[in-house]
Amino acid sequence: MTYTTTEENYIKAIYHLEHVHDKVSTTLLSEEMNTRPATVTDMLKKLESKKILHYRKYKGFILTDQGNKTALNVVRKHRLWEFFLVNKLGFEWDEVHSMAEELEHISSNELTTRLDNFLGNPAFDPHGDPIPDNKGKIKILQQECLAAVTVKKSVTVSSVKNQSTEMLELLNHFKIGIGTKIKINKRFGFDGSMEIRIDKSPAMIISKLVALNVFCII
Amino acid sequence: MTYTTTEENYIKAIYHLEHVHDKVSTTLLSEEMNTRPATVTDMLKKLESKKILHYRKYKGFILTDQGNKTALNVVRKHRLWEFFLVNKLGFEWDEVHSMAEELEHISSNELTTRLDNFLGNPAFDPHGDPIPDNKGKIKILQQECLAAVTVKKSVTVSSVKNQSTEMLELLNHFKIGIGTKIKINKRFGFDGSMEIRIDKSPAMIISKLVALNVFCII
DNA sequence: TTAAATTTTTAGATTTGTCTAAACTTTTAA
DNA sequence: TTAAAAGTTTAGACAAATCTAAAAATTTAA
Ligand SMILES: [Mn+2]
Ligand SMILES: [Mn+2]
Ligand SMILES: [Mn+2]
Ligand SMILES: [Mn+2]
């Protein structure tokens, strides 16, 4: 089975939303896809007929195994291309998303396999998100939210939740990236901000919102 | 200006045909695009309105400067990606065309520039075709058709005209590729076939049709 | 428990790229 | 030089992905 670029984008969006919300609604999906709910309803019928999801009018929808498999393949390509763009072409992590959004639809499986090998079969993309292997298997790390880490502990940044350009730009400014080692000096009760230190550089303050979006390995 | 994948494919097809035929007809273009002439007429009107070509009903059409520039950019991306697939991912030269047909539509100019640099700014693709630089400039080689080369001369293969899988497969079998040095032993008047030799390997016979499709530097 | 609010679906259009069949223009050749 | 052949365009239709407006179903809350 092959799917259009649009279908693949819907499948991937449903996959992502299913991992954040326990029930994905038509409206939620329409917001994610920047379309109208009516458009989503049409697409749901189409994807149902292609056995990508189970759908019952007014009752909701959920990806089938086939749907999940397809989503994982698109996610795999997206993250492999992001890795390529950052590690081979020298792009910054905040520049690659829209390019990967196009590259993820290149169809050749052989190309994906060879790209994977060329990159050294990476397990994580530049944002710390796991790259599914060719069977759809994902490495799951035991991570903790930086906002919840005990004071005085040292941790290693492993992923970023909010991946907006603004957030990544801010982390760039702080010189925080995947793999950065952080020591938590103090947490301020007033606004939940934290004083942290990277190596020997001077201590700095990050807001609670930033801390909530950074995940670490302890 | 940005163009759809379909529009880009038409623009590129017109560009290629203009370099082989002194007048491109609606029917010829429809054959190249595997569509009906009526479909081409519709697209011509659309591309005319986008200033990609000059068009006069029943009288023909020709790319504008803007059309040529756009075509060269698509050709550039196509050939850079082919180079990448062969020289970085290890594909054979007869495997890359359809993948490049998709990759050539990835829009980011910054990506194209960085890919070009990553590949070492190659001037020719795996089939010996010139890769336009970022200004659309092409290196033109002084080439001669193998079928026309004087007997006893030694030449270097520089490009292949017919790039069908069948042709490339045949050349693979003969171990003839871009850069291969060939000595012409004899040309047979009966069928125009030629006896050639590569390095110290035993002499072999290639048909006139093969020779007509191989171009060399003398 | 039922009426109001919210969500979802249906109905009917629109745009893009395609088709077939028919009409129109140009070219060819008798 | 003109009639037939060939090439091109027009007219009308369709599938995909989208929209708006209205109808229907579900959820919420008085
Ligand atoms: Mn995408
Ligand atoms: Mn990512
Ligand atoms: Mn293409
Ligand atoms: Mn090529």
Q: Residue A59's pLDDT is what?
A: 95
Strands A204-206 and A194-197: antiparallel
d(CA B148, CA A70) in angstroms, rounded, equals 52
pLDDT tens digit sequence for B22-74: 999 999 999 999 999 999 999 999 999 999 999 999 999 999 999 999 999 99
Q: Which residues of B touch A108 (CB under 8 A)?
A: 98-99, 102
Average pLDDT over residues B6-35: 97
Q: Which residues of B touch A (CB under 8 A)?
A: 85, 88-91, 95, 98-99, 102-103, 105-108, 110-111, 114-115, 118
Q: Residue A199's pLDDT is what?
A: 84
Please tell me which of the candidates B88, B106, B110 has its beta carbon nearest to residue A102: B106
**CB distance A213 to A162 below 8 Å:** yes
In window 13-52 of A, residues with CB < 7 A from nucleic chain C are 25-28, 37-38, 40-42, 44-45
**CB distance B141 to B217 below 8 Å:** yes
pTM: predicted TM-score of the whole model, two decimal places: 0.93
Distance A101 CA to ligand 1 centre (A): 4
H or E element at residue A61: strand A60-63
Distance B6 CA to D23 C1' (A): 38
Q: Residue A200's pLDDT is what?
A: 85
Question: Quick one: which of B7, B13, B16 has its CA closest to B51?
Answer: B7
Q: Residue A156's pLDDT is what?
A: 95
- Name the pLDDT band for B108 (thresholds 50, 70, 90): very high
Q: Residue B57's pLDDT is what?
A: 95
List protein-proximal bases of chain C (any atom < 7 A from a CB).
Answer: 7-12, 16-22, 25-26
Q: Residue B144's pLDDT is what?
A: 94
Distance A99 CA to ligand 1 centre (A): 9
Q: Residue A21's pLDDT is what?
A: 94
In window 4-43 of B, residues with CB < 7 A from nucleic chain C are 4, 6-7, 33-36, 38-39, 42-43
Q: Which residues of A touch B99 (CB under 8 A)?
A: 106, 108, 111
- Name the pLDDT band for B153 (thresholds 50, 70, 90): confident
Burial A152-169 (b: 16+ CB within 10 A, else e): eeebebbbbeebeeebbe
Distance A166 CA to ligand 2 centre (A): 15
Question: Quick one: which of B174, B214, B207, B211 has its CA closest to B193?
Answer: B207
Q: Residue B7's pLDDT is what?
A: 97
A130: which DSSP letter? B
Distance B95 CA to D7 C1' (A): 36
Distance A36 CA to D18 C1' (A): 9
CB spacing of B111 vs A89 below 8 angstroms: yes
d(CA B209, CA B103) in angstroms, rounded, equals 31
Q: Which residues of B touch A88 (CB under 8 A)?
A: 118
The shortest C-alpha distance from B121 to chain A (Å) reads 13
Distance B108 CA to ligand 1 centre (A): 14
**CB distance A183 to A196 below 8 Å:** yes
Distance B10 CA to C27 C1' (A): 26
Taking CA atoms, what residue in B is nearest to A118?
Answer: B89
Question: Quick one: which of B75, B60, B68, B64 has its CA closest to B27?
Answer: B60
Q: Which residues of A touch B98 (CB under 8 A)?
A: 108
Q: Which residues contact B208 (CB under 8 A, 6 or more apart)?
A: B147, B191, B192, B193, B194
The shortest C-alpha distance from B115 to chain A (Å) reads 7
Average pLDDT per block of 10 residues along chain A, 218 residues long? 96 97 96 97 96 96 97 98 98 96 98 98 97 96 93 93 94 94 93 92 93 95
Q: Which residues contact A96 (CB under 8 A, 6 or more apart)?
A: A81, A82, A85, A86, A126
- Name the pLDDT band for B98 (thresholds 50, 70, 90): very high
Question: Quick one: which of B113, B11, B133, B109 has its CA closest to A98?
Answer: B109
Strand order in the sheet with B214-217: B144-145, B214-217, B154-160, B181-187, B194-197, B204-206
d(CA B60, CA B25) in angstroms, rounded, equals 6
CB pairs under 8 A between A and B: 38
d(CA A176, CA A16) in angstroms, rounded, equals 25
Beta bridge partners of residue B216, listed in sequence order:
B144, B157
For residue B54, give both structure tokens: 């000059």
List protein-proximal bases of chain D (any atom < 7 A from a CB).
Answer: 7-12, 16-22, 25-26
Residue A41, φ and ψ in degrees, nearest 5: -55, -45
For residue B97, give both structure tokens: 């065309």
Q: Residue B201's pLDDT is what?
A: 87
Distance B187 CA to ligand 3 centre (A): 39
